[in-house]
Amino acid sequence: MDSKSTFQQPLAFTCLIIFAFCFACIGEWRPFFFDIDEPKYITAAMEMVRSGDWLHPMFGGLPRMQKPPLPYWLTAAVIDLFGTGFSTGTQLFIARIPAMLGSVMAVAATYLIGRRLGGEKCGLFAGLLLAVAPPFKIEGMLLKADIIYTAAVTWSSFFYLRRLQGQRGLFNLSGASVALALGVLSKGPFALPPLAGYLMAETFRNKSRREIPFYRAIPETLKKEAAPILLGLTACLPFILWLAAASSSGMDYLSGMLNDVSQNTTYKTPVLLHHLQSIGFYLYDAGIVFFPLGIFGLCAVYFLLRNKEDRNGDTSYLLWSGLFYLLLNMFVFRLRAHRYFLPLMPILSIIAVDWILTAKREGLFKKMFSVCTVLVALIPTAIGAIVLYSGKISVNLWRNAQISDFQTQAVPFAIAAFALSLTLGLAGLKLYKKPAKFLAIAFGGMLLFYPFYFNATPDVDTNGQLKPDTLLAKNMADTIDKSIATQDNYIFIASRRSLRIHPELHFFLHNTINRKGKSYLTTLPFQTHHFTRILKDPASASSILRTEKNGNIQTPLYGFLNTNKFEKTALILNNIEVSLLYRSLPSLNTFKSKTEFVAVKGLGHEWKNEILYLITLKNN
């Protein structure tokens, strides 16, 4: 293979990209959010388009400070291009286009890296099997920072690998820096492991070639690689400039992100106890993350480390980058979710495919390959059995939704899972000397499994109704549409807790409320005396927001509330808040006689039936 040629088989690469895009689109039109964070990203992007303020990610009129801006910008761009006013499923499909493109870009970079390390066949199988890997597919369906971040860092790895292989020109340095800059704009400085991995690979290569101690190789490498280091650190500049431009009194995005990191890294229990209590979660997470090729990838890493020549070869760069990602997951993200392993998946796919295709078929290989095959084959069996037993299926590899029809959905899914286990097991045991056939069968089996998975997950029926049940936020929007007159000028206030637990409310309610004259949806922290006051006097909302926290007067929410006059208030509260409101009233019967309570039921983002209350004053 000529490592200096990027595209030797343009037809194979083109077909891979077309397949990756078409496969990424499957499931994206479903009219619900896949987890609690996705509506925050999409709603913040829609607020950017509506307000024209692309500098400040906002949610409910208040700064959304947890993440850098690139996912919001990309989503806002496609929403601005295609517009709004579509059905829920179509609107969400449009908003998720950046996630689909992120998936495709990650697959493309995986192909190119695999091709440079192991040849055309390695790159093609690594890309195909990454695309159909369940954690990559399902996490790639969510419009969040993770898949965009994964695409960016995988491309930076591609450019650093080219440099490691001797192509030390400006093109590779620039490409790596641009990709790193996009990664930092998606996830902050956590996008720097590709640079760190490259420096470590160069250091050990320098140590081996010159036969010098490690401590002497470090300064020599740093001196030699001053340009990549400088350009890599410069990649943080767009993120820093955005922070400086966006932050102000009441909208300190840097403090918000640091607080988010602090929450992610803080243990509420002793560290050892935390990990002991999480063993079940770790086992589940490992089964998801390392299916189907990750387990083979771990064995491949062992074989690489056994061979001194391989330890200092080009593949060592992937090992070092993977180590830094793993350290981030352990000490920053606390191994809390499989989505944090997304950047590791291209690495594991490449290493696993290369090992399966090229390893000598000796005794140790056969034993480890057989063990990996058995472990991989057990995972679909376990999943199928769990679905049959519980009657539920996961829509995001974590939260489970009730299957609406056991016979036509759960049973076919379980049969397909058992068939996939049998296929993977027999193929691995029979074809370990024919690796290309084994990989092709594994890819085909995974691909054929997905129709049964999507058949079992929630979807709309022929009448346009979501099954197994309707969504709480959609039902609240329909209730408001039916019960509140169009000419009335309302301020709708959801308690901050309700909107934090049900962020999808903002998406579903916005279009409905916009049709209600000059009505507006906002959020305030729940305090009984404040909410009873706002119910009687809508104009008091701005003064309450002003006294809540220093800097709120700088937010668009305060500006809107202060300059617009509302005639009536509608409160959206949960069970606990309604109970606290009742207890605080001196005359409960009098209050009930003057207000209307509408209980709205439906499925929340955890796919459990929940209740919210719409509270308004009765017309005199």
d(CA 283, CA 287): 6
d(CA 276, CA 264): 18
Residue 516 pLDDT: 60
pLDDT single digits (tens) 228-243: 999 999 999 999 999 9
Residue 515 pLDDT: 66
d(CA 413, CA 302): 35
Cβ atoms of residues 160 and 194 within 8 Å: yes
Tell me the average pLDDT across 305-312: 73
Residues contacting residue 354 through CB under 8 Å, at least 6 positions apart: 114, 117, 118, 122, 126, 300, 315
Tell me the average pLDDT across 382-400: 88
N residues, the chain:
620
Residue 353 pLDDT: 95
- This prediction has a pTM of 0.92
pLDDT single digits (tens) 566-608: 888 889 999 999 988 888 887 777 777 888 889 999 998 888 8
Residue 550 pLDDT: 54
Q: Is 230 exposed, middle or buried (0-12, 13-18, 19+ CB in 10 A)?
A: exposed
Q: For residue 608, count other CB atoms closer than 10 A to its CB.
A: 12
Q: What are the structure tokens assigned to 66, written together?
A: 């947890």
* 76-85, 331-340, 531-540, range with the lowest pLDDT: 331-340
Q: For residue 275, count other CB atoms closer than 10 A to its CB.
A: 16
Residue 517 has pLDDT above 70, yes or no: no
pLDDT single digits (tens) 97-106: 999 999 999 9
Arithmetic mean of pLDDT over the chain: 87
467 band by pLDDT with thresholds 50, 70 and 90: confident
CA atoms within 13 A on the CB side of 142: 25
Cβ atoms of residues 182 and 140 within 8 Å: no
116 band by pLDDT with thresholds 50, 70 and 90: very high
User: 3-state SS of 94-137?
Assistant: HHCHHHHHHHHHHHHHHHHHHHHHHCHHHHHHHHHHHHHCHHHH
Residue 453 pLDDT: 94
Residue 309 pLDDT: 67
Residue 513 pLDDT: 77
555 band by pLDDT with thresholds 50, 70 and 90: confident
d(CA 584, CA 538): 20
d(CA 336, CA 264): 9
Q: Is 12 exposed, middle or buried (0-12, 13-18, 19+ CB in 10 A)?
A: middle
d(CA 449, CA 132): 10
d(CA 569, CA 171): 59
Residues contacting residue 337 through CB under 8 Å, at least 6 positions apart: 285, 398
Cβ atoms of residues 343 and 154 within 8 Å: yes
Cβ atoms of residues 110 and 350 within 8 Å: yes
pLDDT single digits (tens) 170-196: 999 999 999 999 999 999 999 999 999
Lookup result for tokens 């179509």: 90
Tell me the average pLDDT across 309-326: 84
Tell me the average pLDDT across 443-456: 95
Residue 280 has pLDDT above 80, yes or no: no
Q: Between 118 and 496, whose confidence is greater?
A: 118
Residue 475 pLDDT: 93
Cβ atoms of residues 534 and 574 within 8 Å: no
Residue 540 pLDDT: 85
Residue 2 pLDDT: 44
User: 3-state SS of 289-303?
Assistant: HCCCCHHHHHHHHHH
365-401 b/e with 16+ CB inside 10 Å = b? beebbeebbeebbebbbebbeebbeeebbbbbbbbbb
CA atoms within 13 A on the CB side of 534: 29
Residues contacting residue 279 through CB under 8 Å, at least 6 positions apart: none
* 232-241, 391-400, 459-468, 566-575, range with the lowest pLDDT: 459-468
CA atoms within 13 A on the CB side of 150: 35
Residue 451 has pLDDT above 90, yes or no: yes
Residue 86 has pLDDT above 90, yes or no: no
Q: What are the structure tokens assigned to 515, written together?
A: 């049709």
Residue 3 pLDDT: 43
User: 3-state SS of 423-488?
Assistant: HHHHHHHHCCCCHHHHHHHHHHHHHHHHHHHHHHCCEECCCCCEECCCEHHHHHHHHHHHHCCCCC
Residue 151 pLDDT: 97
d(CA 161, CA 172): 9
Residue 549 pLDDT: 59
Cβ atoms of residues 499 and 506 within 8 Å: yes
| DSSP code, position 34 | S
Q: What are the structure tokens assigned to 533, written together?
A: 């006051």
* 73-82, 477-486, 514-523, 581-590, range with the lowest pLDDT: 514-523
Give the end-to-end CA distance of the chain in Å, rounded to a whole number: 83
Q: Which of 569, 571, 573 is nearest to 561 (CA)?
A: 569
Lookup result for tokens 């759960």: 410
1 band by pLDDT with thresholds 50, 70 and 90: very low
Residue 4 pLDDT: 45
